């Protein structure tokens, strides 16, 4: 009797397991076209880099195992405190990685999530890490205009409803694009994007650092040359003579007004040097993730004030609630807008 | 070597003059020779100039300081290279032989890593360069050896490697979206962000170091003899070596702190100067200074005009320096082999 039962159970077990697998575990294709076997429950996700950590936090914060870099106190003020305090786990992005594969395995993630370039280099690195660790490694498209699709894919990977965030992203991008398309070419300001304490690092045409600017149809003065980041001289900026300067560097924003070198630049003379908000994550550029959706509104209002009448406080509060799951006060929001720490 | 040094010095001066004229009149912002003279004349006479304000800004605030910085850095590196090549009696020595550049690099990347301001980054680079050479010297003096110069070079290599590892570590830990590009740009060398206020912390050390080396010129000539002969001529090699190392390190650190890491100038220019004016340090140091200033001016003019974006100086000097050095090795190696 007992024997029979055991035998029946044993016989049934494989089909049971297969059945469960068919019902629960799912094959999901990531953005590189690699089919991933996603386990029945995804409860622990390892973010390969800052963009992945932010993306995951916005959809399913409790799944986030830790952060590529420990957050600072001023950043945690705009994130769920217990999630924000999760440990530093390093980066796992190919050759520049700081996370150790063994410690990744020791954290027992159900999934490794990476967001960024889907070029063959990164696809093969993902495949290699997956092979070595036996943990499914999903690489999602980090391009700005792919945000909605990336959310839907993340929803499928984590079995969460990503539709609200995907729809928000889609609506934001189409709304803004629709309005920008109506702006005649000659009303689109010539913009210089300034990084570094002296503001002389800039993003060339097509660089990930100026994706928000380019999406808004602004004429990036450095776009004539294609590439990533580069250094330019003040003389070159004077020759470009941009009407607007967008910067992520507080020192530069504070000093440029009194710097005689920059006095001749129209943007400086007209007081159109704009310091980008950066809490809890940079709004314009870094890390390049969904934090740029709110940055898009901010930039759109700066570049085309007559086309964007929305209240920035309102937009910020709404975005922070949807994506960061916090309700900042008006004073907090003003502080963020001022670009202060 | 009894020929007159005058033609050589004149050639060096001509190189500097040509570099200055070209650098002042070529750039991304159109400023012609006429504008330059108009602005200069207005400044000298005290009258208001008729040139647009932007042109004046370019000349006084942007291009002028950069041109001066380029000539000072070039001169400093060449003078330091000359001094070290003489001190070590070795033509393959460059100003960073004792770790000044690696120390400055570590100081600068630390400054960037901790998000300090520009001035603090430069100060850290300067301090790092001095500290590295002091460390090398301490190690070199602690080791008792028959050939103290060789030990010094070895200590330089070892400490340089250690500091290089430190730079690697900081780059590895840096934020890849913001700090890492800044570090990379700094380590490749550039004068793109030269401010008028950068000139004083550059000019002071370069002048002091160069004047010390000029004052030591006779003793440096004696140093090229074997130690025993030098001592027989009444030159105590120990303190002299400290003075030369200190002066050369001072000028190297100041220039690396301002412009980042620029190789090859300190290696190549002393050779050119030597072929022009001979081995006497009394002429060699001024010739190297003039020539180095002119050389880096030409390189920097290329760096800022070839494209809209800056080309790192370290890359250009290597591209220009390596073929030149090979040609030099093939053609004038006799200068070094026998007096």
Give the 3-state secondary structure of residue A308.
Answer: coil
Pick from A126, A98, A105, A144: nearest CA to A30: A126
Residues 6+ apart with CB under 8 A from B73: B191, B202, B255, B258, B259, B262, B296
Q: Which of B61, B176, B182 sits opposite A260 (nearest CB)?
A: B61
The DSSP symbol for A199 reads S
Q: Are residues A75 and A131 in the same domain?
A: yes
Instruction: Work out the average pLDDT over A201-218.
Output: 91
Q: What is the pLDDT of residue A94?
A: 54
Q: Mind listing the pLDDT tens digit for each residue in A147-169? A: 999 999 999 999 999 999 999 99
Distance from CA of A124 to the nearest CA of B (A): 21
B89: left (phi > 0), else alpha (psi -120 to 50), else beta? left
Going B23 to B28 to B34 to B37, the CA torsion angle's sign is negative
Q: What is the pLDDT of residue B99?
A: 93
DSSP A65-95: --BSSPPPHHHHTTS-HHHHTSPB----SGG
Interchain proximity B308–A69, CB inside 8 Å = no
Max Cα–Cα distance, chain B, nearest Å: 68
Pick from B289, B128, B80, B263: nearest CA to B189: B263
Among A130, A161, A192, where does a domain finish?
A161
Q: Are residues A77 and A209 in the same domain?
A: no
Asked if the model's pLDDT at residue A96 lies above 70, the reply is no
Pairing of strands A26-29, A35-38: antiparallel
Going A225 to A229 to A231 to A237, the CA torsion angle's sign is positive
Torsion of CA A183, A188, A194, A195, to 10 degrees: 20
- Residue of A72, A201, A226, A235 to mutate when probing chain B, most B C-beta within 10 A: A235
Contact A288, A164 (CB under 8 A): no
Q: Are residues A109 and A206 in the same domain?
A: no
Which two three-digit tokens encode residue B116? 């300090």
The verdict on residue A293 lying in a domain is yes
Pairing of strands A137-141, A111-116: parallel
Q: Are residues A231 and A299 in the same domain?
A: yes
Q: Mind listing the pLDDT tens digit for each residue in B183-225? A: 999 999 999 989 899 999 999 999 999 999 999 998 888 877 7
Q: Mind listing the pLDDT tens digit for each residue in B114-166? A: 988 888 999 999 999 999 999 999 998 898 777 878 899 999 999 999 999 99
Q: What is the pLDDT of residue A296?
A: 95
Asked if the model's pLDDT at residue B37 lies above 60, the reply is yes
Pairing of strands A35-38, A45-47: unpaired
Q: Does B26 touch chain A (CB under 8 A)?
A: no
Q: Are residues A113 and A231 in the same domain?
A: no
- Residue of B192, B197, B258, B303 to mutate when probing chain A, most A C-beta within 10 A: B192
Asked if the model's pLDDT at residue A213 lies above 70, the reply is yes
Q: Are residues A147 and A269 in the same domain?
A: no
A206: left (phi > 0), else alpha (psi -120 to 50), else beta? left
Q: Mind listing the pLDDT tens digit for each residue in A136-145? A: 999 999 998 8
Interchain proximity A233–B310, CB inside 8 Å = yes
The verdict on residue A280 lying in a domain is yes
What percent of chain A shows pLDDT beyond 70?
91
Pairing of strands A111-116, A219-220: unpaired
The verdict on residue A168 lying in a domain is no
Asked if the model's pLDDT at residue A319 lies above 90, the reply is yes
The verdict on residue A222 lying in a domain is yes
Distance CA A186, CA A180 (A): 12
The verdict on residue A175 lying in a domain is no
Q: How does the average pLDDT of chain B come out, rounded?
A: 89
Which strand (E) or helix (H) includes residue A183?
Answer: none
The verdict on residue A169 lying in a domain is no
Residue with tokens 């001979």: B278
The DSSP symbol for A311 reads -
Asked if the model's pLDDT at residue B102 lies above 90, the reply is yes
Instruction: Tell me the HSE value of A69 on the side-chain side, using a 13 A CA sphere.
Output: 16
Interchain proximity B181–A201, CB inside 8 Å = yes
Q: Are residues A188 and A133 in the same domain?
A: no
- Residue of A205, A236, A260 to mutate when probing chain B, most B C-beta within 10 A: A236
Among A129, A161, A193, where does a domain finish?
A161
Q: Which of B27, B176, B178 sits opposite A96 (nearest CB)?
A: B176
Q: Are residues A205 and A318 in the same domain?
A: yes
Enumerate the residues of chain B whose CB falls inside 8 A of the CB of residue A285: 177
Interchain proximity B61–A261, CB inside 8 Å = yes
Distance CA B328, CA B320 (A): 12
Q: What is the pLDDT of residue A320?
A: 97
Closest-approach residue (CA) in chain A for B63? A235
Q: Are residues A127 and A193 in the same domain?
A: no
For residue A201, the enclosing domain spans: 184-337
Q: Are residues A111 and A235 in the same domain?
A: no
Distance from CA of B176 to the nearest CA of A (A): 9
Closest-approach residue (CA) in chain B for A95? B172
Q: Are residues A121 and A192 in the same domain?
A: no
CB pairs under 8 A between A and B: 107
Which two three-digit tokens encode residue A306? 């007559």
Q: Does B307 touch chain A (CB under 8 A)?
A: yes
Q: Are residues A223 and A145 in the same domain?
A: no
Among A161, A194, A211, where does a domain finish?
A161
Task: Residue A320: give its domain's CATH number.
Answer: 3.40.50.1980
Enumerate the residues of chain A whose CB falls inside 8 A of the CB of residue B53: 263-264
Q: How does the average pLDDT of chain A come out, rounded?
A: 89
Q: Which of A233, A263, A286 sits opposite B304 (nearest CB)?
A: A233
The verdict on residue A166 lying in a domain is no
Distance from CA of B60 to the nearest CA of A (A): 9
How many domains is chain A partitioned into structurally?
2
Q: What is the pLDDT of residue B176?
A: 82
Q: How confident is the model at residue A20 (pLDDT cuts 50, 70, 90)?
A: very low
Interchain proximity B176–A229, CB inside 8 Å = no
Q: What is the pLDDT of residue B31?
A: 84
Which two three-digit tokens encode residue B158? 């070892």
The verdict on residue A202 lying in a domain is yes
Q: Can you give the pTM of this predicted structure?
A: 0.84
């Amino acid at each position: 009797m007992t024997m029979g039962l055991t035998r029946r159970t044993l016989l049934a077990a494989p089909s049971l397991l297969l059945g469960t697998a068919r019902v629960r575990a799912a094959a999901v294709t990531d953005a590189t076209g690699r089919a991933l076997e996603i386990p029945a429950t995804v409860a622990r996700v390892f973010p390969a880099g800052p963009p992945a950590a932010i993306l995951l936090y916005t959809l399913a914060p409790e799944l986030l195992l830790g952060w590529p870099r420990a957050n600072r106190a001023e950043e945690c003020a705009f994130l769920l405190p217990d999630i924000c305090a999760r440990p530093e786990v390093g980066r796992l992005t190919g050759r520049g990685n700081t996370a150790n594969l063994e410690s990744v395995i020791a954290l027992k993630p159900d999934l490794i999530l990476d967001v960024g370039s889907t070029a063959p280099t990164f696809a093969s690195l993902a495949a290699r890490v997956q092979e070595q660790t036996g943990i499914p490694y999903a690489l999602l498209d980090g391009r700005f205009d792919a945000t909605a699709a990336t959310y839907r894919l993340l929803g499928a990977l984590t079995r969460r409803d990503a539709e609200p965030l995907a729809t928000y992203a889609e609506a934001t991008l189409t709304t803004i694009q629709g309005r920008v398309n109506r702006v005649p070419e000659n009303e689109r300001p010539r913009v210089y994007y300034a990084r570094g304490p002296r503001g002389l690092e800039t993003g060339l045409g097509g660089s990930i650092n100026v994706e928000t600017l380019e999406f808004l149809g602004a004429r990036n003065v450095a776009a004539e040359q294609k590439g990533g980041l580069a250094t330019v001289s003040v003389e070159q900026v004077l020759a470009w003579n941009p009407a607007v300067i967008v910067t992520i560097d507080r020192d530069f924003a504070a000093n440029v007004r009194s710097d005689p070198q920059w006095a001749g630049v129209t943007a400086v003379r007209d007081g159109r040097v704009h310091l980008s908000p950066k809490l809890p994550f940079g709004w314009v550029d870094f890390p390049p993730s969904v934090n740029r959706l709110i940055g898009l509104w901010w930039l759109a209002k700066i570049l085309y004030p007559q086309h964007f009448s929305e209240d920035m406080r309102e937009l910020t509060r709404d975005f922070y609630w949807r994506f960061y799951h916090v309700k900042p006060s008006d004073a907090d929001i003003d502080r963020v807008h001022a670009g202060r720490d | 070597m009894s020929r007159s040094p005058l033609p050589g010095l004149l050639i060096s001066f001509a190189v500097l003059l040509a570099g200055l004229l070209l650098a002042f009149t070529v750039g991304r912002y159109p400023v012609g020779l006429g504008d330059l003279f108009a602005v200069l004349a207005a400044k000298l006479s005290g009258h208001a100039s008729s040139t647009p304000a932007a042109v004046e800004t370019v000349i006084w605030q942007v291009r002028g300081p950069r041109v001066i910085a380029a000539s000072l850095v070039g001169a400093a590196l060449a003078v330091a290279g000359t001094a070290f090549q003489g001190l070590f009696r070795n033509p393959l020595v460059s100003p960073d032989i004792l770790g000044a550049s690696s120390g400055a690099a570590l100081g600068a990347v630390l400054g960037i890593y901790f998000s300090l301001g520009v001035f603090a980054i430069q100060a850290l680079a300067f301090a790092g360069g001095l500290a590295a050479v002091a460390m090398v010297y301490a190690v070199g003096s602690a080791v008792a050896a028959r050939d103290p110069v060789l030990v010094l070079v070895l200590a330089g290599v070892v400490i340089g490697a250690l500091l290089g590892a430190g730079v690697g570590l900081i780059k590895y830990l840096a934020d890849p979206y913001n700090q890492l590009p800044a570090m990379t740009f700094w380590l490749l060398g550039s004068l793109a962000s030269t401010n008028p206020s950068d000139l004083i912390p550059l000019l002071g050390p370069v002048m002091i170091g160069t004047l010390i080396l000029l004052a030591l010129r006779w003793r440096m000539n004696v140093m090229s003899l074997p130690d025993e002969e030098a001592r027989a001529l009444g030159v105590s090699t120990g303190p002299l070596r400290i003075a030369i190392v200190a002066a050369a390190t001072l000028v190297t650190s100041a220039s690396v702190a301002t412009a980042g890491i620029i190789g090859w100038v300190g290696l190549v220019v002393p050779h050119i100067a030597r072929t022009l004016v001979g081995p006497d340090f009394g002429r060699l140091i001024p010739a190297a200074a003039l020539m180095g200033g002119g050389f880096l001016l030409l390189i920097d003019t290329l760096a800022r005009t070839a494209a809209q974006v800056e080309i790192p100086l370290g890359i250009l000097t290597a591209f220009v320096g390596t073929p030149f050095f090979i040609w030099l090795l093939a053609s004038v190696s006799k200068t070094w082999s026998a007096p």
